[in-house]
Amino acid sequence: MPATKKVFGIVLAGGEGKRLMPLTADRAKPAVPFAGQYRLIDFALSNLINSGLTQIVVLTQYKSHSLDRHVSQTWRLSGLLNSYVASVPAQQRLGKRWFSGSADAILQSLNLIRDEKPDIVVVVGADHVYRMDFNDMIEAHIASGKPATVAAIRQPIELSDQFGVIDVQPDDPTAIREFLEKPINATGLADAPHEVFASMGNYVFDADALIEAVTVDGESTTSNHDMGGDIVPYFVGNGQAGVYDFKRNDVPGSTNRDRAYWRDVGTIDSFFEAHQDLISTLPIFNLYNAAWPIFSQQLNSPPAKFVRDARGNLGETIDSIVSLGSLISGAHIERSVLGSWALIESGATVVDSVLFDRVTIRPDAVVQRAILDKEVVVEPGAQIGVDHDRDRARGFTVTDSGLTVVGKGVRVVP
């Protein structure tokens, strides 16, 4: 990005995440663990840091303790040259009220922008899994001359009713003509009629234009005060919004297989599917890209360990991720992701599952197509994901696709 431009980062992390319940029963959505040792917010922050942004605020609200703690423990920059990642709750600067939407969160935090006096503000969500170099988007934003730019990812036209869809000008494919919320009759792109532009929830604004837009929006009595639903249409209506095609973003170290990967993990099923994208030999999303690392808290933990059990059974672990501190003793693990300090004992089976930190699976227990939150204990011989009626009777969440979700700290008996 041009050296004359000062860029400020805002991460919107106040989401409640109702569709991820019970994983969000005790934490904000951006604080939900992912891929064994990360939190969802680590992906947004890593992208900003890797892109060279060193002044970033995280706007929090819903059940934010674990998120605030993670940010403070993990994202401590040196402080040199005024570099920081700061967690900022609702400050009630405009009255005794909380954030009423993502645009209102920025409105109530305008002092942060005014203090730093940036030229450009990058606004991103905190709950998507992806890699993105924001430098290219910022350069495209500056070159466009428009005060607002929306990042878009190409999606099949048949999925348009699941996204905010960006309709571009016929004579200028970089200019937004209309922003459509989950349309059922979307028009395909000129260069790919079977595809549409779906908003990624990432934006670049001229700072003064953003300040004006959220201020005008704050005075409206009919607005939902949402970035995608209200602020973007404000710029579109004024002919001031451009689109950035994520397809052109080239992250260092990316491969043809994982380039332009992006996942909205807003539901239990999409959260599970994103984990499945990690575990193949040639993963759809590659965690091992050293040129663009995903940063997170460095745990003071021993390596994972795989041993024979007392019966002499070695067990096996296939197509899986096993995090630090875990101990696998004569168990069968397949197509699964295990968080830190997992304990899987003799004869146990874990297949197509996601285990958070410090989950214990006792001897001969079975876990299949399940997500287990922190510190769940599955007692000897107990089964999860085998009998869905039994799972529901025990109060577990079972999705329409047959995924069983067990909340934090639950003890599962046969």
Residues comprising the binding site? 164, 181-182, 199
User: Residues 41, 45, 48, 49: what is their CA dihedral angle, to the nearest 10 degrees?
Assistant: -160
What is each CA distance from 204 to 24, 147, 220, 396, in whole angstroms? Answer: 29, 8, 23, 41
Quick check: 1 and 48 in contact, CB under 8 A?
no
Q: Binding-site residues for alpha-D-glucose 1-phosphate, please? A: 164, 181-182, 199
DSSP tag of 59: E
CA 296 to chain CA centroid, nearest Å: 13
Q: Which of 293, 264, 191 is nearest to 40 (CA)?
A: 264
Q: Which of 17, 9, 15, 81 is nearest to 46 (CA)?
A: 9
The 10 Å Cβ neighbour count of residue 194 is 10
CA 205 to chain CA centroid, nearest Å: 21
DSSP tag of 184: S
